[in-house]
Structure 1
Amino acid sequence: MQMTEYAGRDGLREMQELTQRIWSPASRLHLGDLAWERSANAGRADGWRTAVWRDDEQVVAWAWLAQPGHLLMTVDPARPELAATVVEWFRAAADGPGLAAGVLETEQHLLAALEAAGFRRQDDAPYYTHHWISLDDLAEPVVPEGLTLRHVRVDEVAQRAAVHRAAWSDVAPSTMGEEAMGEVMSTWPYRPELDWVVENEAGEFVASALIWLDEQHQVGLVEPVGVATAYRRRGLGQAVNLAALYALREAGGTRAVVCPRGDDGYPQARALYQSIGFRPGLRTLHLLLG
């Protein structure tokens, strides 16, 4: 067994390799989750630590301090004994009190290792719920007159970053700049034809939806979606999602998953997805040490 540590974005493809190889509907993470989180946060991820475990040449586990004191991990279910090794690494690598981890409720080998190390479920904490949709029968996307649906071009990095900021600066200003969006758009398996926007008459993007396709499993992850605050309540979130889902079907996808908050602390996102036809499935669990 060999373990390699990385900082920043390094190690992403190894993480995606394992995530794709063992993926099923009972997995918490899709390879698109890793592509988005590590590329979108590349500018502030220099100190984030990652460990990857290999048996011969095959990746069998990885761990990522996605933020200080918080663990994301994937362990091959065929090697459940490695989950304890990953948790031990996390406790040694993380700084400060309040260590936390998140798993999907079906990832029992991860849950058992965390609980054996003293982590306890926080059932009153915010959580996320996988929502699923088949691409067989999609509604038609419609936008108001003067607005246009289309996919992004590879040279539109600045405009794509701008619409993300416009949609995600409600609570605090978004840090998504042109460099970070460039990282997103150059990270596998990004495809511009699966990155859809609503464009106004002035040529500004006012809503967006990005889908990451896992070709092996024919499943797309919707992440992220946003509508500029001045253009909300016009059905643009539904329309841009549906347009991206149609494109996913044309690219060979058969279904899609999205992971909004499942608790009532932030119900707006799941209401949007359910209005399109997504239906809830498994939920995440949040655990704290002690």
Structure 2
Amino acid sequence: MTIELNVPGVDGLTEAVGVLREWQYEGAPTQLHPGDIGWFWRAGAEATAAAVRTWSRSGRILAVGLLDGPDLLRLTTAPDARQDEELARQLVADVTDPARGVLPEGRVNIEAPPNTLFPDLLGAEHGWPLDDPWTPLRRDLTAPVRTPDLRIEEVGPAQADAFAALLGAAFEGSRFTADSWHTTASGVPFADARCLLAYDDGGDAVAAVTVWSAGPGRPGILEPMGVHRDHRRRGHGEQITLAAASTLRDLGASSALVATPSSNKAAVATYESAGFERHPETRDRYRAA
């Protein structure tokens, strides 16, 4: 049967997010999560729809990709299609031909689950080498999470300005605004998300995080987590991460997941201090310019 490449449009985002929820399970490799689309939604529903690609056979979606920027495709497949050769070869054909409208010419990266046939074919037959390593980390949420020492508040419309200001102070070049928060909160994935702010004893907002559940009994993710540049090296990253894990547990998530470049040793240490355990490193495939 023919495999069809589609840009789902705004009306198709609910289905794409829905299948991504279904594909999250304990023991799954690092992969695209509905929360990744949820965080991208800050750009608006139309921009999000334009960045999503789906591959279907006989009306069933087998793969979902997110163009997380012009030169990065984050892609995953249905669990039972990881070794589907027809799908893998179609994916390779589509991502290597700029005319197909998936990736442009020049330097580009592809993130895909390491147990999937597609990236292996891409490397073996088209010479896409492995890029720098990332470290995935996981925290089991079976047991209660230690209560953070900082005051934690859930962000609603009234705190949108404070949340945006914190992200601006945590991430250089951040363009996130209060309007961005409202746009993100209007997205389909946000029904399973929470934004949190941490405050120190002086009442200053010092850290922020957004967590995304995929539904009860499934792994959730942290995206993003940041600490105010003027309040670093005081353990606030650990505290907001504990709050994130606790919130995901309250939402019914089975575990909390996060990934960071392996070169960012401070971030890895922060997550480990909050009870996260390292998993084997992953690497994107890339095509040089």
TM-score bracket relative to the smaller structure? 0.7 to 0.9
Q: Deviations over 1:73-127 (max 9, x none)?
A: 22224342212212212222332222332223233x12233125413332xx332
Q: Distance in 2 between matches of 1:137 and 1:192?
A: 20
Q: Distance in 1 between matches of 2:49 and 2:6?
A: 16
* Structure 2 spans left out of the alignment, 5+ residues: none
Name the counterpart of 1:274.
272
Name the counterpart of 1:95.
104
Identify the match of residue 119 of structure 2 among 97, 108, 111: 111
Name the counterpart of 1:60.
62
Q: Distance in 2 between matches of 1:138 and 1:166?
A: 27
Is 1:71 paired with 2:73?
yes
Q: Does the CA-based 8 Å contact 2:139-2:257 persist in structure 1?
A: yes
Name the counterpart of 1:178.
178
- CA change 1:46–1:30 in 2 (3 A) is closer
Q: Please state whether the residue corresponding to 2:104 is helix, strand or coil.
A: coil
Q: Does the CA-based 8 Å contact 1:193-1:247 persist in structure 2?
A: no
Q: How far apart are 1:40 and its partner, in Å?
A: 3.3
* Structure 1 spans left out of the alignment, 5+ residues: none
Q: Distance in 2 between matches of 1:191 and 1:159?
A: 21
- CA change 1:84–1:185 in 2 (3 A) is same
- CA change 1:279–1:257 in 2 (3 A) is same
Q: How far apart are 1:33 and its partner, in Å?
A: 2.0
Identify the match of residue 140 of structure 1 among 147, 159, 169: 147
2:280 maps to amino acid: L
- CA change 1:201–1:192 in 2 (3 A) is farther
Q: Please state whether the residue corresponding to 2:245 is helix, strand or coil.
A: helix
In terms of fraction of residues, the more helix-rich structure is 2
> What is the aligned length?
276
Q: Distance in 2 between matches of 1:161 and 1:216?
A: 29
- CA change 1:96–1:189 in 2 (3 A) is closer
Q: How far apart are 1:42 and its partner, in Å?
A: 4.2
RMSD: 2.9
Q: Show structure 1 runs of 4+ deviating over 6 A.
A: none
Q: Equivalent pairs: percent with the same residue?
A: 23
List aligned pairs for 1:19-30, cutoff 5 A.
19-24=20-25, 25-30=28-33
Q: Please state whether the residue corresponding to 2:158 is helix, strand or coil.
A: coil
Q: Deviations over 1:18-40 (max 9, x none)?
A: 3222223224222212211x213
Q: Does the CA-based 8 Å contact 2:31-2:75 persist in structure 1?
A: no
Is 1:190 paired with 2:196?
no
Q: Please state whether the residue corresponding to 1:214 is helix, strand or coil.
A: coil
1:159 maps to amino acid: A
Q: Deviations over 1:188-233 (max 9, x none)?
A: 3325983221135786532112211111433221111111111112
Q: Please state whether the residue corresponding to 2:190 is helix, strand or coil.
A: coil
Q: Does the CA-based 8 Å contact 1:127-1:261 persist in structure 2?
A: yes
Q: Could you state the TM-score of these two structures normalised by the residue count of structure 1?
A: 0.82
List aligned pairs for 1:9-24, cutoff 5 A.
11-24=12-25
1:13 maps to amino acid: T
Identify the match of residue 134 of structure 2 among 128, 140, 154: 128
Q: Distance in 1 between matches of 2:127 and 2:50?
A: 21
Q: Please state whether the residue corresponding to 2:29 is helix, strand or coil.
A: coil
Q: Does the CA-based 8 Å contact 2:167-2:226 persist in structure 1?
A: yes
Name the counterpart of 1:287.
285
Q: Distance in 1 between matches of 2:67 and 2:267?
A: 26
Q: How far apart are 1:48 and its partner, in Å?
A: 5.6
